[in-house]
Chain A
Amino acid sequence: MNLLEVDGIAKNFRGLRAVGGVSFAVPAGAIVALIGPNGAGKTTIFNLIAGVFPPDEGTVTFEGARLDGLRPDQVCRAGIARTFQLVRPFGGLSVEDNVVIGALRAAPSVEAAHATARRILERLGLWDRRHERAAALTLPDRKRLEVARALATGPRLLLLDEVMAGLRPTECDQMVEFFHEISRETGIAILLIEHVMRAVMALAGHIVVVHHGEKIAEGAPADVVRDPAVLECYLGEEAI
């Protein structure tokens, strides 16, 4: 059964068609990657799912219930957490408080939220930095914090918007390993936007490729990277 179903969603910005009728699905427990060149509309698709703005056409269905038209906080409470491509930590607050705020979504009390935050911070290697102001963290740590905060809300689907960008290859591999682990342990499904193909190939069981706001290919990673349409949009026609 599909956890998330995106059916023909489209979004125009003042006449510019950012997303034009894209459909795909994320099965329960799966890790799906959304790739495509810059400006392909990936983040817009994320924003449509996360409720930042409603789609002009099409529907988004999560666990059988319609999501389109809901506000971001309602989408989060429905069980979908997202990270931002340009990380948005609560800069003036401590690393721990950042994650506690996320954990309060599902935690019955502030104490319980602290316990959840500690567990997640330890797993992401941020526990030692818990008293630091979030604004003082390095970019890779801020990306980890962004993931920690989203995970703390207890989602069943995690939307990751370029969390590997700017990470060193070893750090990237650690992140990939981390996502594999939590996916195995908790059964959480992941939909990720990613440019780092190393991470995409290692993580995703299924890839959706968008270009100019349209889906141009979809399938198993090994097939997708050999797809002529995909190669063309990434490398140009002559390269094939």
Chain B
Amino acid sequence: MLNLWLGGANPRGRALLAGMLAVLAAAPFFVDSYIVSVLILVFYFAYLGQAWNIMMGFAGQLSLGHALYFGLGAYTGAALYVKFGLSPWLSMPVAIVIAMAVGAAIGALGFRFRIGGVYFALLTIAFAEFTRILFDHFTWVGGSSGLFLPVASRQGNDLWMLRGAPIMFYYVWLVLTVGLLILCRALLASRLGYYWLAIREDEPAAQALGIDTFRYKMIAVMLSAGLTAVAGVLNAFYFNVLFPEPTFSINRSIELILGAIIGGVGTLMGPIIGAFILTPLGESLTLIIEQIPTGVQKLDGLKQVFYGLCVVLIVLFQRAGVWPWLARKLRLGADGGKGGA
């Protein structure tokens, strides 16, 4: 029987999870602003990896264009704030609906015409790319010269308008990341979760058991897209600047799935663990590179090389990801990911 919240994890695992949460909740009071900014980046990757994992890890549908949903969320939130002064919390539902609609369109195209696997992934890349080009020429939201959110002049944190210090964003990200973990846990234990896993494992067999595979793949894509858009809105308010090129780029699409791949595709903790491993290492690397006097500053790509190396190592030595291996080593019990281990 699956316990909804903590099923699979033994007392050790629960204690560790609770401890980790407590440390993260208290962290901003003890560490400097740089560490807070790195942790925000960790949450960003953990959340997005988790959202992507619903589609790939649970339902087995590979998307390499999640920057599309992220970007749609970011631009929707930013534009509604800049043009109409709308709170991000009110624009979030709009962003979710838009991303879900686009996700549904891509899903319907791919699944209806039986474009599977790598070809489906190419379709997702294509949509992200041409949306990027579209936004380059979409002058209402700034086109290629970018969209800027006015930074509040007054002091203090305005949670309603998401104007304020990084610490406020830190907690918003933390709540969202934990919330998504709980949501995914509940999904996996539900009928929907079982159907997704069946489709991931063997689609014809799933269909023979009465599962309307088209419908449940569509739900996975739309849910994943909508959740990704939420991160887009939040990120836009955190950075206050949006350009089509970095927002919709394939780099972002790839970057946001690395944590999940390193941590363990299809597991609940994988995307989170992956983000905690990759981001601090990547950021330290950036710091180190900045110390090296090169004169021309042409070592920008080194972080990407490092990420690539991590993926290669994982694929070679621990294909299921770090988390299943770590969970075994620490004797934390099975991950709720059911067979993801």
Contacts and interface: CB of A to CB of B under 8 A. Distances in A.
A150 B340 CA distance: 24
Interface in B117-140: none
Contacts of A150: 208-209
Interface in A130-183: 133, 149-150, 153
B60 to A, nearest CB: 10
Given A100-B194, A114-B1, A73 B205 contact: no
Interface string A60-101: 000000000001110011000110100011111110010011
B290 interface: no
B197 interface: yes
Specify the main secondary structure of chain B where it touches its partner. helix
A156 B232 CA distance: 49
Interface string B195-209: 101101110111111
A133 B211 CA distance: 21
A6 interface: no
A111 interface: yes
Contacts of A88: 202, 204-205
B197 A101 contact: yes
A73 B211 contact: yes
B210 A77 contact: yes
Contacts of A84: 205, 208
B339 interface: yes
Contact of A90 (B198, B207, B210): B198
B228 interface: no
Contacts of B210: 73, 76-77, 105, 153
A203 interface: no
A90 to B, nearest CB: 4
Contact of B201 (A72, A77, A93): A93
Contacts of A110: 2, 189-191, 194
Contacts of B200: 92
A105 B339 contact: no
B213 interface: yes
Q: How large is the interface on B (under 10, 10 to 19, 20 to 34, 35 or more residues)?
A: 20 to 34
B120 to A, nearest CB: 20
Nearest to A93: B339
A104 B201 contact: no
A50 B201 contact: no
A101 B338 contact: no
A153 B201 CA distance: 18
A204 B213 CA distance: 34
A102 interface: yes
Given A73-B210, A104-B195, A90 B201 contact: yes
Contacts of A89: 202, 205
Given A93-B201, A100-B194, A133 B208 contact: no
B212 interface: yes
A101 B209 contact: yes
B194 A91 contact: no
A104 B206 CA distance: 11
Given A88-B202, A97-B338, A76 B194 contact: no
Interface in A104-122: 104-105, 109-111, 113-114
Contacts of A133: 339
Contacts of B212: 71, 73
B209 to A, nearest CB: 5
Nearest to B337: A92
B289 to A, nearest CB: 40
B198 A72 contact: no
A167 B128 CA distance: 52
Contacts of A114: 1
Given A72-B207, A114-B1, 11 more contacts: A72-B204, A73-B208, A76-B207, A88-B205, A89-B202, A92-B339, A97-B194, A100-B194, A105-B210, A110-B2, A133-B339
29 contacts: A71-B207, A72-B204, A72-B207, A73-B210, A73-B211, A73-B212, A81-B208, A81-B209, A88-B204, A90-B197, A90-B198, A91-B202, A92-B197, A92-B339, A92-B340, A93-B198, A93-B339, A97-B194, A100-B194, A101-B194, A101-B198, A101-B209, A109-B191, A110-B189, A110-B191, A111-B1, A113-B194, A114-B1, A153-B210
6 pairs of A and B residues whose beta carbons are closest in the complex: A76-B210, A90-B201, A88-B205, A105-B210, A92-B339, A72-B207
Interface of B: 1-2, 189-191, 194-195, 197-198, 200-202, 204-213, 338-340
Interface of A: 50, 52, 71-73, 76-77, 81-82, 84, 88-94, 97, 100-102, 104-105, 109-111, 113-114, 133, 149-150, 153
